[in-house]
Chain A
Amino acid sequence: MNRKLLSLALLGSTILGSAAAAEVTLTIESWRNDDLTLWQDKIIPAFEAANPGIKVKFTPSAPAEYNAVLNSKLDAGSAGDLITCRPFDASLALYDGGHLADLSGLEGMNNFSDVAKSAWQTDDASASFCMPMASVIHGFIYNKEVFAELGIEVPETEAEFFAALGTIKADGNYIPLAMGTNDQWEAATMGYNNIGPNYWKGEEGRLALIAGEQKLTDAQWVAPYEALAKWGEYLGDGYEAQTYPDSQNIFTLGRAAIYPAGSWEITGFNAQADFEMGAFKAPVMNAGDTCYISDHTDIALGMNAASPNAEAAKTFLNWMGTSEFAGIYANALPGFFSLSNHDVAMEDPLAQEFVSWRGECESTIRSTYQVLSRGTPNLENETWGASVAAIKGSKTASDLGMELQNGLSSWYAPHK
């Protein structure tokens, strides 16, 4: 009933809008209701000033309901012109179902690297169907005051990393690492996929795994579990029942020294913590090794294939490829980094720190997200459990590699 009313209202407003003036109104579907003011106050006015004749409306829904609401709107033909894209399979299914238009030819696409585009492409990369917006970068956020107090240098290599953890533990006043295993995903996302790219050499390893040339039992895929196994002793007491919000609070209250992080934490941490924070990237094996960072593609914008305003929508999408959009977006949401090749100046020092790694290191995305989590058992979900088991020490790293490989081989042809 509500949905019917809503679509009627939407329909009514589009008719009224088009009747009032000969201008086009674009409607954007999104799950980012947190960003409503950012769109209304900054992004849309900037676009409308540059493109008279096109009006834009941002109409987000709740994140948890987004996929379901969007699918029913698309099926009913009442969805907006522009559609915010989840990465990988959820959007690929929309493209395969004919709901998203192929955007490969748009010139705005040229401003993005292949890695940035990979989350919204067909498996053979022949068609791109969403314009990348932002990524999140993994690393470690640390309490600068604790580091100064204990005389710890920012660690570069794995040996230095564990030496720093040892120093903090020996001092005894702070929890070395603020992470728990209760919610499971942090162990995989902020643990395994944070430190892992340095072992499997980023894209090289990730693509080889998808192609079936490498296996999860290979040393480079097992080694991150061996490193995680050493984290257990540096986590707080009772970390087995520590949840994600617990970890955030422990760190922002100043009770922990290092927080394995994703850059999306920046806004929240800036508001909560009253000490100075710094960030360092996942440690490499030996000083001077090439570093790899998880620069995970998270959000993009695509075009409804049934949109009557295709030309205006394409204008908007091309504008999203400009440095103007990248600058507005990245500064309003520190921690969500523009995926474009433009050099975006950011004011937040912590965000600057994170994004500076792009210049020093090779970017990659989380290893389990593309293709490999399509079947059952689902590799991403299995990785959660495996990372937790590694940290708790309930299974050895090589057993975990074996289990994950068996699961993957059971349904994924290149690994059979």
Chain B
Amino acid sequence: MKKSGIKWHVVVFLAPAVLVYTAIMIFPLFNTLRLALYTEVDQVRQFAGLDNFRTLFGDAHWSGQFWNALGNNFWFFFVHMIVQNPIGIALAAILSHPRLRFAALYRTAIFVPTILSFVIVGFAWKLILSPIWGITPDMLKAVGLKWLYAPYLGKEEYALTTLALISVWQFVGIPMMLIYAALLTIPEEVLEAGEVDGITGFSAFWKIKLPLILPSIGIISILTFVGNFNAFDLIYTTQGALAGPAFSTDILGTFMYRTFFGFQLQLGDPHMGSAIASGMFGIILVGVCIYLFGIQTRLRRYQF
């Protein structure tokens, strides 16, 4: 029997995924990068080379907004890294404790917000924190901490951190689940061997479990990074496209949306918007590359 050189079944089985992925991911991505090189003069699209990027980084008005958004984005990411991921790891460690009762209930309760829509989360938290109808002022008053209350979402100094913490509340379930799964894969023998050597309790966590789940923590960090630099929904639903107060919650996603689609009397500018989107793409690409080549290759993996 003669065998055909091309394995057709491979092509056939790959085709749907490749076609769909190309149509809805790869093509739009490259088209956006292309669009960033054009501009519109008198309703005619013209090739403009890198002019849009020159405006974005050279013009004081544009670059001011860009750096503000980028700075806010880094703060947003920083809050997630120092709050969401440690809490996620701690929760996973507690949940994986064999003597904990109702573990499944806690696991589900903590994970549920992750599957809620941003609109619901944003709206619910806006109501909870509202100075007029919210329960926060009364609850703080009940425990004698009324002085702690401020209209957090309306104050420039608190708004971004508050939103970051809301996002942490929503997504803390994801690192928890990933770490939980990683912790479950650690074989009992390793822990028992440690116990024989006198490593128990907290030191077992620090000296045995943590090194073994480091690759998972790396993955979580990069997922957080990509998620945060693509974030948009929560800010948009709570603060609107102008990301108030006074742009203090403006991140790259809202800046791009406002520019691309326009806002109120501002007409949309797809070309400048694409330039910002390209900038976001570049930043995420660099971040992911640093992780892949700088960190992941140095992580030690253990096989059992």
Instruction: Say whether A40 faces chain B, with CB atoms less than 8 Å apart.
Output: no
**A378 adjacent to B245 (CB under 8 Å):** no
Residues of B contacting A97 in the complex (Cβ-Cβ under 8 angstroms): 43
Query: Cα distance A180–B151 when bound, in Å?
Result: 11
Binary contact track B230-253/A, C-beta < 8 Å → 1, others 0: 000000000110101111000000
Question: Besides the contacts A182-B245, A238-B131, A392-B245, what 5 more A-B pairs have beta carbons closer than 8 Å?
Answer: A181-B154, A238-B154, A378-B263, A384-B242, A385-B246
Task: Choose the segment among A124-132, A142-150, A306-314, A368-376 that binds chain B (4+ C-beta atoms closer than 8 Å).
Answer: A368-376
Task: Choose the segment among B110-118, B264-272, B283-291 that binds chain A (4+ C-beta atoms closer than 8 Å).
Answer: B264-272
**A242 adjacent to B266 (CB under 8 Å):** no
Residues of B contacting A90 in the complex (Cβ-Cβ under 8 angstroms): 267
**B130 adjacent to A241 (CB under 8 Å):** yes
Query: Cα distance A239–B151 when bound, in Å?
Result: 8
Instruction: Say whether A282 faces chain B, with CB atoms less than 8 Å apart.
Output: no
Instruction: Say whether A113 faces chain B, with CB atoms less than 8 Å apart.
Output: no
**B152 adjacent to A241 (CB under 8 Å):** yes
Given A181-B154, A377-B61, A394-B156, residue A388 in contact with residue B244 (CB < 8 A)? yes
- Rounded to whole Å, the gap between the CB of B270 and the closest CB of chain A is 13
Given A241-B153, A376-B61, residue A185 in contact with residue B264 (CB < 8 A)? yes
Binary contact track A179-208/B, C-beta < 8 Å → 1, others 0: 011111100000000000000000000000
Instruction: Say whether A156 faces chain B, with CB atoms less than 8 Å apart.
Output: no
Question: Which residue on B lies nearest to A376, using beta carbons?
Answer: B61
Instruction: Say whether A399 faces chain B, with CB atoms less than 8 Å apart.
Output: no
**B153 adjacent to A380 (CB under 8 Å):** no
Instruction: Say whether A381 faces chain B, with CB atoms less than 8 Å apart.
Output: yes
**A239 adjacent to B264 (CB under 8 Å):** no
Q: Which of A88, A239, A410 contacts B154 (CB 8 A)?
A: A239
Query: Cα distance A241–B62 when bound, in Å?
Result: 27
Binary contact track A82-113/B, C-beta < 8 Å → 1, others 0: 00000011100100110000000000000000
Residues of B contacting A392 in the complex (Cβ-Cβ under 8 angstroms): 245
Instruction: Say whether B155 faces chain A, with CB atoms less than 8 Å apart.
Output: yes
**A381 adjacent to B131 (CB under 8 Å):** no
Given A369-B265, A377-B61, A381-B263, residue A388 in contact with residue B245 (CB < 8 A)? yes
Residues of B contacting A389 in the complex (Cβ-Cβ under 8 angstroms): 246
Question: Which residue on A lies nearest to B267, using beta carbons?
Answer: A89
**B153 adjacent to A184 (CB under 8 Å):** no
Query: Cα distance A381–B264 when bound, in Å?
Result: 8
Instruction: Say whether B133 faces chain A, with CB atoms less than 8 Å apart.
Output: yes
Instruction: Say whether B166 faces chain A, with CB atoms less than 8 Å apart.
Output: no
Query: Cα distance A93–B268 when bound, in Å?
Result: 13
Instruction: Say whether B129 faces chain A, with CB atoms less than 8 Å apart.
Output: yes
Q: Which of B129, B265, B267 has the most CB of A within 10 A?
A: B265
Query: Cα distance A174–B153 when bound, in Å?
Result: 24
Residues of A contacting B269 in the complex (Cβ-Cβ under 8 angstroms): 376
Chain B 111-160 interface residues, beta-carbon cutoff 8 Å to A: 126, 129-133, 137, 150-156
Residues of A contacting B264 in the complex (Cβ-Cβ under 8 angstroms): 185, 378, 380-381
Query: Cα distance A72–B264 when bound, in Å?
Result: 20
Instruction: Say whether A236 faces chain B, with CB atoms less than 8 Å apart.
Output: yes
Residues of A contacting B247 in the complex (Cβ-Cβ under 8 angstroms): 385
**B130 adjacent to A246 (CB under 8 Å):** yes
Query: Cα distance A245–B88 when bound, in Å?
Result: 36
Q: Which of A88, A250, A368 contacts B132 (CB 8 A)?
A: A250
Query: Cα distance A111–B205 when bound, in Å?
Result: 83
Q: Which residues does B use to contact A, with CB under 8 Å? A: 43, 61-62, 126, 129-133, 137, 150-156, 239-240, 242, 244-247, 263-267, 269
Chain A 190-241 interface residues, beta-carbon cutoff 8 Å to B: 236-241
Residues of B contacting A254 in the complex (Cβ-Cβ under 8 angstroms): none
Could you list 23 A-B pairs, sorted by A, with CB under 8 Å?
A89-B265, A93-B267, A180-B154, A181-B244, A183-B244, A184-B240, A184-B242, A239-B131, A239-B151, A239-B154, A241-B129, A241-B153, A246-B130, A246-B132, A250-B132, A368-B265, A369-B265, A378-B264, A380-B265, A380-B266, A381-B263, A384-B242, A385-B242
Instruction: Say whether A278 faces chain B, with CB atoms less than 8 Å apart.
Output: no
* Chain A, interface residues (CB within 8 Å), range: 35 or more
**B133 adjacent to A246 (CB under 8 Å):** yes
**A381 adjacent to B151 (CB under 8 Å):** no
Query: Cα distance A241–B267 when bound, in Å?
Result: 27
Query: Cα distance A37–B239 when bound, in Å?
Result: 34
Question: Which residue on B lies nearest to A96, using beta carbons?
Answer: B43
Q: Which of A239, A388, A407, A410 contacts B246 (CB 8 A)?
A: A388
Query: Cα distance A238–B240 when bound, in Å?
Result: 18
Residues of A contacting B126 in the complex (Cβ-Cβ under 8 angstroms): 243
**B246 adjacent to A394 (CB under 8 Å):** yes
**B240 adjacent to A407 (CB under 8 Å):** no
Residues of A contacting B137 in the complex (Cβ-Cβ under 8 angstroms): 238
Q: Which of A89, A381, A407, A410 has the most CB of B within 10 A?
A: A381
Residues of A contacting B263 in the complex (Cβ-Cβ under 8 angstroms): 378, 381
Q: Which of B43, B151, B240 contacts A241 (CB 8 A)?
A: B151
- Rounded to whole Å, the gap between the CB of A151 and the closest CB of chain B is 27
Residues of A contacting B130 in the complex (Cβ-Cβ under 8 angstroms): 238, 241-242, 246
Residues of A contacting B267 in the complex (Cβ-Cβ under 8 angstroms): 89-90, 93
Question: Which residue on A lies nearest to B259, using beta carbons?
Answer: A376
Query: Cα distance A17–B239 when bound, in Å?
Result: 48
- Rounded to whole Å, the gap between the CB of A228 and the closest CB of chain B is 15
**B244 adjacent to A182 (CB under 8 Å):** yes
Residues of A contacting B132 in the complex (Cβ-Cβ under 8 angstroms): 236, 238, 242, 246, 250
Q: Which of A96, A184, A241 contacts B131 (CB 8 A)?
A: A241
Query: Cα distance A377–B264 when bound, in Å?
Result: 13
**A407 adjacent to B61 (CB under 8 Å):** yes
- Rounded to whole Å, the gap between the CB of A254 and the closest CB of chain B is 14
Residues of A contacting B152 in the complex (Cβ-Cβ under 8 angstroms): 241
Q: Which of B62, B133, B155, B240 contacts A240 (CB 8 A)?
A: B155
Query: Cα distance A378–B126 when bound, in Å?
Result: 28
Query: Cα distance A231–B181 when bound, in Å?
Result: 56
Residues of A contacting B245 in the complex (Cβ-Cβ under 8 angstroms): 181-182, 184, 240, 388, 392
**A410 adjacent to B151 (CB under 8 Å):** no
Given A241-B151, A368-B265, residue A184 in contact with residue B244 (CB < 8 A)? yes
Query: Cα distance A377–B59 when bound, in Å?
Result: 11
**B266 adjacent to A376 (CB under 8 Å):** yes
